[in-house]
Every structure is written in structure tokens, then in C-alpha cells.
Structure 1
Amino acid sequence: MSRPAAIWFAGEPDRKPRLSRERITTAAVALLDAEGVQGLSMRRLAARLSAGTMSLYEYVGSKEDVLDLAVDAAIGEIDIGAIDGLPWREALHCQLTRSRDVMRRHPWLPVLMATRPLLGPHALERSELVYSVLHQAGLVGPRLSAAVSALTYYVQGYTAAENVWRTSRRDPAAEAELRRQTQQYLHRRKELHPTLAQHTDVGNNDFDASFRIGLETVLDGIETQISTG
């Protein structure tokens, strides 16, 4: 019998030896946090669990299954409480800010979320929340799907870029100097690129404020779609 296309289509193994999918998932998340996607292998995961590599295959079919489980476990850390009853914009702003916080805690998460089927129970629960909030606000059909996609890709893309920048620029003084030199470089080319030279805020390193402004801009566009029916 061929293995299911996604681990979510298969049940938990009947046998209950000392390992479990839960233990494997917890260890996988820890390994991803420590070494990133490139550092996760079945051999390293087995070593972290003090188990044989082949024993993992009693619970998962491949490394891809492990990644799916780890992604859903991390998504499960996104709090979904205290959303009911809030106005739709406030509810989404709160929920997506929480999502960014978890993606920053697990820098590997936003990239994997963009490349895998998010069919785990935690992912589906959070997708249902966002869809239902926008549906209740008045969106249906393609506009509803497009609005969810716009919000999802904004949060994932912004946080993925932020994570890379924070990882590569650990010296605040060096970062400030790079920003200063970049601003000067644009200023010297203001005749060629006048808008960039005048309006690009290269010196701004407030990721939180920039994220909020960007999210509000996307929500403004969605509100226009709702108000025009």
C-alpha cells in the first residue's frame, strides 16, 4: 500500500512503544529552533530522542512528515483566545500580530508555512478563525479568499524578511552605519531616483511600527472591499 500524500491523512500507529508522534514533534521543533531546516535530519532527530533512526519510521513516513508535524505544533502556539466579539479589524490585527510573534520565536516557520499543505488541526483551526471573521464582515467567494491570502502572505513575508535581517545583522552599531551609508548613497543619486532619495526611510529599524503600518494598509484595502460589497 502506498503511503498517504500527507501525514494528516494517516492515523496514529496502533502500537504504543516508548516513542510517539508527540515526542518526535517536540524534539523536531527544538532541533529546528537550534539548527534550522538544514540542520534537521532523521539521524539527528533520532539522536536527540536517544533512539535508532529506523524506529522513527514506525510513526512517520519521512522527514517531510516530521516537518508537517513541527509546523502544525508551532502554529498551535498562536493564541486564539479573546477574539470573539471584537470588531473584525481589531480581531484580525490581534490575531495576526500574535502570528508574527510566534513566527519570530520560530524563524523557520514562515518559510515552511508558505511551502507546505497546512492541514493539521492547529492550522485549520486558525484558518477557520480568519475566514470566519472576514466572512462575517461581509466577504464571500474569491474576494474572501483573496483577502485571507493578502493577510497571510503579508505576515509571512514580512516576518521571514525580518528574521533573516535580524539573524544577519546582530551588531546594532554596524547596522546603524550600514543604514547611514545607504541613505547617503541614495541622496547622491537623487537626480536619478528622486522619490527613493526623498521618501525611503532607510534609517528606520522599528520593525514593530513598520509591521503595524503595513498591516493597517492591507486592512484598509479589505475594508474598502467590504464597504463596496
Structure 2
Amino acid sequence: MADGGYVNIWMRPEQTARGPKPAYSRARIAESAVRIADAEGLEAATMRRIAAEIGAGAMSLYRYVPSRDDLIVLMADRLMGEIDVEGLPSGDWRADLTRYANEVRAMWLRHPWIVTVHRSPHSYGPNQLLLIERVMGVLDAYVSVDENLGLMAILNGYVEGAVRDEVSRAGEVRRSGLSESEWLARAYPYVLQLLESGKYPIFSKIAMEAGQMRLSRDDQFRYGLERVLDCIAAALQVPAHPRGRRDP
């Protein structure tokens, strides 16, 4: 059942037609919130803390951002603005999607707290809309909108899953107080016990033969991304001409 009382933050004008210019802006509030979350975690980015940083009264900020959920929407859209999609689509779909995937990963690694955020896919902020236009535009000439949505879901699912794992692992290493090599070494005695048991031949094969296990995180991400793009290429069956275009 629809919430008749809900009003999307983007439907609320920042400034009315009459009256004084607002003392603060959503962009400034979101920027401050992101800066605090980067330094201390998402929970630290409270209205009171943001107000103290920008020199405002906490209650006055609620005129600009009515709720915590609205603040998260603004913060998430602010991060989407860091994903550089200038010039997309370029005509080279594989290069475009590679660039987009790497941009998304880099953004998540700069702001690891974003993995804890449940972002509404229907907030449709200005930066999210720009991403939709540019990134969905990459395959628009080749496939139907439904196929496009499905292929983008596959790509985004890979990127977000890979980066969530990367961020989680980095967090565990940090909390352990060990170096990454020391953290990995803790598992060696148990892995050796499993190998010597002879009960798990596939696990043993992974441990002894899998080259991916020895790749850097960058190379692992690149390898997986190439496989995803290969799947997209197979689904596209890219024709000599995009849909709706023919040589004169």
C-alpha cells in the first residue's frame, strides 16, 4: 500500500518563490555528512554533528532535510556524482562499461561506509538520473530497454558484490590489528589440516591450483569484470549496425 504521507526529498523545493535565500543548501549538508562518515563512520553523521560542523542549529537543518532517510538519500546521490560518466556513450560499449565499473569500485573504496546503506532505487536524485541516462545509454542502441535493465543488473551485481567483499575483508584486517599477510597466515594451519584430510578434493584443488587466489585485488576485479563483459557481449550479439541505424 502506498504511503500517502511520503514526499520525495527531490520534490521539496530548496527555496520558495518568495522569501529570503536559504542560509544553507542540501549540497553543503550532504558534503559535510559525507566528510564526517568518511572519517568516523556513517553513524557519526548525525544532524547535531553536521550542524556543529557548518555552524548551524541542529533543528534548523530539518527545514532543509526533514529526516534521516532523506539525509541518506542526499549522501548517496552525492557519492554518485563522483562517478565520472562524462562522454558516455562513446560508441565503444565495452570500454564505456569498463570505465563505469572501475569508477563505481573506486567510489565505494573511497567511502566504504556506503556498503551499510540501503539505498532506495527510486529516489532518482540528479546524479542518479545522470548515471541512468549515460550508462543505460551505452547499450540503448543495441537492445530493448528490458534487456538493457537485465544486463545492467548483472554488471552492477558483480561490481557491488566484488567491492562489498573487498571492503569487508579490509575491515576485518584493520580490526585484527595485523598486516594482511599476517591475517591470511592465521588460516594456514586449518587449511593444511583440510588438505591433509583428503575429504575435500575440490577445495584442495582451489587451494593448490587456483591462480586467482594469488592475484592482487585489482587483478581479481579486472578478471571478473572481463568475464561479465564477455557474457554481455554474448547477450548482445552485437550487429554491424545498432538498432534503428543503417548505412545510407
TM-score normalised per structure 1? 0.87
Q: Which residue of 2 aligns with 1:178?
A: 186
Q: Which residue of 2 aligns with 1:157?
A: 161
Structure 2 CA distance, aligned partners of 1:81 and 1:87? 14
Q: Which residue of 2 aligns with 1:168?
A: 172
Q: Does the 8 A contact of 1:176 with 1:203 survive in 2?
A: no
**1:220–1:141 distance in 2 versus 1, CA, 3 Å:** same
Structure 1 CA distance, aligned partners of 2:81 and 2:190? 39
Q: Does the 8 A contact of 1:13 with 1:58 survive in 2?
A: no
Q: Secondary structure at the match of 2:220?
A: helix
How far 1:218 moved relative to its partner?
Answer: 1.2
Deviations 1:14-60 (A, max 9, x none): 34243221221111111111222222222222222222110101111
Q: Does the 8 A contact of 2:73 with 2:119 survive in 1?
A: no
- Answering whether residue 212 of structure 2 is matched by residue 208 of structure 1, we say no
Q: Secondary structure at the match of 2:185?
A: helix
How far 1:84 moved relative to its partner?
Answer: 4.0
**1:207–1:182 distance in 2 versus 1, CA, 3 Å:** farther
Please show how residues 66-105 of structure 1 align to structure 2 within 5 Å: 66-105=71-110
Match of 1:188 among 191, 196, 206: 196
Q: Which residue of 1 aligns with 2:65?
A: 60
Q: Does the 8 A contact of 1:71 with 1:113 survive in 2?
A: no
Q: Does the 8 A contact of 2:136 with 2:148 survive in 1?
A: yes
- Answering whether residue 26 of structure 2 is matched by residue 21 of structure 1, we say yes
**1:45–1:116 distance in 2 versus 1, CA, 3 Å:** farther
Q: Does the 8 A contact of 1:3 with 1:61 survive in 2?
A: no
How far 1:61 moved relative to its partner?
Answer: 0.9
Gaps spanning 5+ residues in structure 2: where? 240-248
Q: Does the 8 A contact of 1:68 with 1:116 survive in 2?
A: no
Q: Which runs of 4+ in 1 moved over 6 A?
A: none
Deviations 1:130-171 (A, max 9, x none): 2111222x2214322111111112111211221121122132
Structure 2 CA distance, aligned partners of 1:36 and 1:205? 29
Q: Does the 8 A contact of 2:80 with 2:128 survive in 1?
A: yes
Q: Does the 8 A contact of 2:14 with 2:64 survive in 1?
A: yes
Gaps spanning 5+ residues in structure 1: where? none
Deviations 1:77-103 (A, max 9, x none): 111134443411111011110111111
Q: Secondary structure at the match of 1:80?
A: coil
Q: Secondary structure at the match of 1:28?
A: helix
Q: How many residues align?
A: 226
Identity %: 31
**1:20–1:113 distance in 2 versus 1, CA, 3 Å:** same
**1:183–1:208 distance in 2 versus 1, CA, 3 Å:** farther
Structure 2 CA distance, aligned partners of 1:10 and 1:103? 28
